[in-house]
Structure 1
Amino acid sequence: MGGKKSKPRVEPPSPLFDKGWRDVPWNDKAKYLEIVRCFEPFKPRNDEKNEDQHIRILLHGPVGHGKSSFINSVDTALQGRVTGRALTDTIVGNSFTKKYTTYKITKGAHGTFYPFVFNDIMGLEKNQGVREEDIKLAMMGHVKDGYTFNPYSTLSIDDRYYNTNPSLSDKVHVLVCVVSASEVHLLDDDTVKKMRKVRLDASDMGIPQIAILTKIDVACDEVDADLRKVYKSKYVKRQMEILSASLGISLNCIFPVKNCNTEITPNDDLEMLILMALKQMINFGEDFVNDYKCT
């Protein structure tokens, strides 16, 4: 009698697609840096001061998902050295960012800056964190730099940090939602509803929106080993699809990145992903300003 036949070995499915589903010009970092460096500031209509103005980019999202780290990563890519001006905290808990803070990035000679700024805000939480009403006020330009967010009350019109007459430069030109790739599927319904409400408020104001999917190295071992596999990773793509379905942001407006958290020297692949996202933010902001000036 013959022995029992062994079952054929079944290989586990690959965590990677055979081909990347989004093209990345990995070797064009210098070109992207030049595009960003050549971006010109805008001049608002009827501006008697005739001063150069900037594109304002507002970051929002759940606590601990990498908003401040993304600002540092952009700064690092543009400065050519690791920076840490936006303070971060590695301990998960309540929001580390408390105040409405504007970050300018130095360009070339001391005293000159890139014509775009980032605004960091308190993170969203289930029962605490920044209030959606305060994010709306910030988008409208009513929140002055240095305002300390209160989870239990909204900025009042008689507060000294309330800007009663915001200019176009005070208003937000691009809204960026920042979410960790390793936690997209863990977001509670309340937080998702808050992010969706913020998105709808921005849409009512005509503000373009982008999502940044951070911590892709934590979420996917293959990407951790080689960042160039980010658009081959089935897991990363799935998290992008979940985020798109939850918030209504199209996939071509979602950018997976690795923030500069562990590096102590520049990393070209990391910075290429950051620069791709930054370039789109600048393009969207410029489109918003141009449309505003034509109305």
Structure 2
Amino acid sequence: MGADDSFTQKYTTYRVQKEGPKSSYPFVFNDIMGLEIKGVLVDDIKLALRGHVKNNYTFNPVSKLSEKDPFYNKSPTDNDKVHALVCVVPANTVADIKDEVVQKIREIRMEASDLGIPQLAIITKIDEVCSDIKEDLKNVYKLKAVKAKVCLTGNFPGITVKLTYTVRMFL
């Protein structure tokens, strides 16, 4: 798998189990193919936002989901639609994000805004930005290397960077 390839290939729905085996919380997470150059098409994400993509649809980076496809949901309910959009960005690669990917993010965020969908960016892999974090996680936002990487996400259209100075860990 190359640097521009996505690990996730299918639209996958994950339920969060409660204590009982047949009981889950009243929300789901949907995972999609990444936005790499050879990644998911913006049109497929727009369809997913509106609830038209069924679970286990295999993304095709060359051709968007058609209304004739068995994985196209012709009549989405509110439960099929996206209610919050989360963009997960690895801190160790944020500076390398190509302009084409930033454009994809812009289009998707504009569609989500038009649909009234709240949006959030989560920055991961901050420990790979600076070795000092592994030693003292409490000061993560005080480290200049991390702050610089986080601020790079401010280059994404419409994302406001707000740094908080507390970190909570649940082990």
Answer yes or no: same fold by TM over 0.5. yes
Alignment correspondent of 1:211: 121
Question: Residue 4 of structure 2 contacts residue 36 of structure 2 at CA under 8 Å; is this kept in 1?
Answer: no
> What is the correspondence of 1:136-151 to structure 2 with a 5 Å cutoff?
136-151=46-61
Residues 161-211 of structure 1: per-residue CA shift (max 9 Å, x gap)? 111111111000000011111111111111111111111111111100000
1:169 partner letter: N
- Secondary structure in 2 aligned to 1:250? coil
1:142 partner letter: H
Unmatched segments (≥5 aa) in structure 1: 1-88, 256-267, 273-295
Quote the offset at 1:244 in angstroms: 1.8
2:111 partner letter: D
Please tell me whether residue 175 in structure 1 is matched to residue 80 in structure 2. Answer: no
Name which of 96, 110, 133 aligns with 2:43.
133
Structure having greater relative contact order (Cα 8 Å, sep ≥ 6): 1
2:157 partner letter: L
Query: Which region of structure 1 is more displaced relative to structure 2, 156-165 or 106-115?
Result: 106-115
> What is the correspondence of 1:105-120 to structure 2 with a 5 Å cutoff?
105-120=16-31
Q: Distance in 2 between matches of 1:100 and 1:208?
A: 20
Q: Distance in 2 between matches of 1:92 and 1:224?
A: 25
Q: Distance in 2 between matches of 1:121 and 1:137?
A: 12
Alignment correspondent of 1:222: 132
Quote the offset at 1:93 in angstroms: 5.0
Quote the offset at 1:140 in angstroms: 0.3
- Secondary structure in 2 aligned to 1:243? helix
Residues 103-123 of structure 1: per-residue CA shift (max 9 Å, x gap)? 011111211112221111111
- Secondary structure in 2 aligned to 1:247? coil
Alignment correspondent of 1:190: 100
> What is the correspondence of 1:23-38 to structure 2 with a 5 Å cutoff?
none
Residues 233-286 of structure 1: per-residue CA shift (max 9 Å, x gap)? 22222222221232321224x89xxxxxxxxxxxx72x48xxxxxxxxxxxxxx
Q: Distance in 1 between matches of 2:29 and 2:123?
A: 17
Please tell me whether residue 241 in structure 1 is matched to residue 151 in structure 2. Answer: yes
Please tell me whether residue 103 in structure 1 is matched to residue 14 in structure 2. Answer: yes
Give the ranges of 4+ consecutive aligned residues of structure 1 lying more than 4 Å apart after TM superposition: none
Residues 53-96 of structure 1: per-residue CA shift (max 9 Å, x gap)? xxxxxxxxxxxxxxxxxxxxxxxxxxxxxxxxxxxx9x745112
> Scaled by the length of structure 1, what TM-score is found?
0.54
Unmatched segments (≥5 aa) in structure 2: none
Please tell me whether residue 160 in structure 1 is matched to residue 70 in structure 2. Answer: yes
Aligned length: 168
> Scaled by the length of structure 2, what TM-score is found?
0.90
- Secondary structure in 1 aligned to 2:110? helix
2:149 partner letter: Q
Question: Residue 216 of structure 1 contacts residue 224 of structure 1 at CA under 8 Å; is this kept in 2?
Answer: no
Identity of aligned residues (%): 50
Please tell me whether residue 200 in structure 1 is matched to residue 110 in structure 2. Answer: yes
